[in-house]
Amino acid sequence: MYAAPVLPAARDYGTLYRSFRWQIPARYNIGVDVCDRWAESDPARTAILNVRGDGKVEEVSYGALREASNRLANALAAHGIQRGDRIALLLPQGPAVAVCHIAIYKLGAIALPLAMLFGTEAISYRLQDSGARALISNAQGLAKLAAVRDAALALEVVWSIDGAADGAEDFNAVLARAASEFTPVATTADDAALMVYTSGTTGPPKGALHAHRVLLGHLPGIEIPHEFLPQPGDRFWTPADWAWAGGLLNVLLPGLHYGVPVVAQKFDKFDPEQAYALMAKMRVRNAFIPPTALRMLRSARPPKTPIALRSVGSGGEALGTETYEWGKATLGIAINEFYGQTECNLVLASCAAIAVSRPGAIGKPVPGHSVAVLRADGSQCAPSELGEIAIKRPDPVMFLQYWGKPDATREKFIGEWMTTGDQGVVDADGYFQFVGRDDDVITSSGYRIGPTEIEDCLIRHPAVALAAAVGKPDALRTEIVKAFIVLKSGHTPSDALATDIQGFVKTRLSAHEYPREVAFIDEMPMTTTGKVIRRLLRQRA
């Protein structure tokens, strides 16, 4: 048996949308929901199937997750961590991520997931901005932390799942010493639980603070693109890092909520042949795969062992008609596209099972969400009229606020509508189509990348005087980051210097944010107020 679906039994979009009603309880805790609820009734039930480096599969039960998360909650409390404190997680896919999230939620604290791709500056900024008091990582993460720990003034506790190291205690030893029983904090659905940093499209990255209800808000948007999950035999997987909203809230936490086993495997980078082999070996039935990864799968050789996918959801960038048609021809299923943002995720989606599926379109509003295309004055656009995609509040999947940035939070809204900065149209049939952006966000390999953080890093290079980052169209990744650079006096453009600048950004920010192309220019195009005219640079790119 699985957890009951939240959508009605109807298999008609209009009926589903009209009849759905949110059932958000006053008291709700994600950790209790995704772990303790199952552990009490069926502690041996498989929660996670972890494929280790040696290829062996480790089955992790809900009972094991409850005991480990209880021990961690007790250990954190013993170190003074309490309700509302931020706890950073710098970990790859694996059971420890689930244990940490569950413990943090049961403690009433706030989980702060950080991607393993992040470089030192990206980690340092988020630790400082959030005021995180604790960090749980591995040896790879500790190596990055070493360079910036002095700047993270609030950081008091550092534990490593790879054992004790300089400045870090052994995570497993800490758990072994702690008690295995813990009474979860009685949180409300509106209490803060999770903070995910945006990509920084309009300035430095912002911490989007979410309440415990964010998981309940995601459920209709899971059931629709995954063809009414849960179904007998369902098994969930994504190549996306569980630190991203897509990995955490689109797969890990919903899978645990429904009782659908979640497959985990640490990937240093996406390898299409490895992904095919994993899906075949682990009998994956449901997958969230970003469009770029799907394009890489399309160009790879399928495994001899057949895969048996029942549903594939894809989002983060436009899927495109060609990839959509490839999915039907090769995978035997329609890839269901969906849309959302870190601040308000999974609000538009396709579902081929109920004939909501159209090449080149995202889909229609997920039941429970009110989505529209707006003019600049906040009025709704006519069919096929270009405008900004927006979501109406209140909405349980919508963020509470940007951490420490009340002005930015207010500016996100026009009246009761949360704006997205994404341009789109909705046709007469109610299908939404993503057209472009009204900001300078770069969409690459499923990641939304803001130029500010990249540019701030670029100008720290000793040879760089001015820098601007824009997106250049790319057939595989949708866009790549291209940097335009004005050099300081005494430096000469060269391929070697371009390579050095690329490496400088890659090691400090993230492997997906570094500029794949560097162009040296004599003068930066700027407005009279000193702003870079990125439109001209995009034309040059």
Instruction: Convert the pLDDT of each residue in 128-143 to its tens digit.
Output: 999 999 999 999 999 9
Cβ distance 287 to 260 under 8 Å?
Answer: no
Least Cα distance to 144 among 108, 126, 120 occurs for 120
pLDDT per position as a tens digit, 345-356: 999 999 999 999
Q: Which CATH class is domain 25-37+62-211?
A: alpha beta
Two tokens, residue 29: 């805790």
Beta pairing class for 387-392 and 417-426: antiparallel
Residue 151 DSSP symbol: G
Looking at 51-60, 292-301, 363-372, 427-436, which range is the least confident one? 292-301
For CATH 3.30.300.30, the residue range(s) in the chain are: 442-540
Beta strands in 299-396 (DSSP E): 311-314, 336-341, 344-349, 364-365, 371-374, 387-392
pTM of the model: 0.86
> Domain 442-540 has what CATH class?
alpha beta
Question: Looking at residue 303, what DSSP letter applies?
Answer: P
CB burial string 325-359: b at 16+ within 10 A, e below = ebbeeebeebbbbbbbbbbbbbbbbbbbbbebbbb
The secondary structure of residue 319, as a DSSP letter, is -
Sorting pLDDT into bands at 50, 70 and 90, what band is 529?
Answer: very low
Task: Write out the two tokens for 48.
Answer: 């996670």
Which whole number is the average pLDDT over 223-237?
98
Band (188; pLDDT cuts 50, 70, 90):
very high
Range(s) of the chain covered by CATH 3.40.50.12780: 25-37+62-211
Contacts 24+ apart (CB under 8 A), 424-428: 424/362, 424/373, 424/386, 424/387, 424/388, 424/389, 425/373, 425/381, 425/383, 425/384, 425/385, 425/386, 425/387, 426/372, 426/373, 426/381, 426/383, 426/384, 427/361, 427/383, 427/384, 428/383, 428/384
Cα–Cα distance, 251 to 285 (Å, whole number): 12
Q: Which residues pair with 398 in a beta bridge?
A: 344
At residue 371 the predicted structure's pLDDT band, cuts being 50, 70 and 90, is very high
How large is the average pLDDT for residues 223-249? Answer: 96
Calculate mean pLDDT across residues 47-58: 96
d(CA 140, CA 119): 11
Mean pLDDT for the stretch of residues 28-55: 97
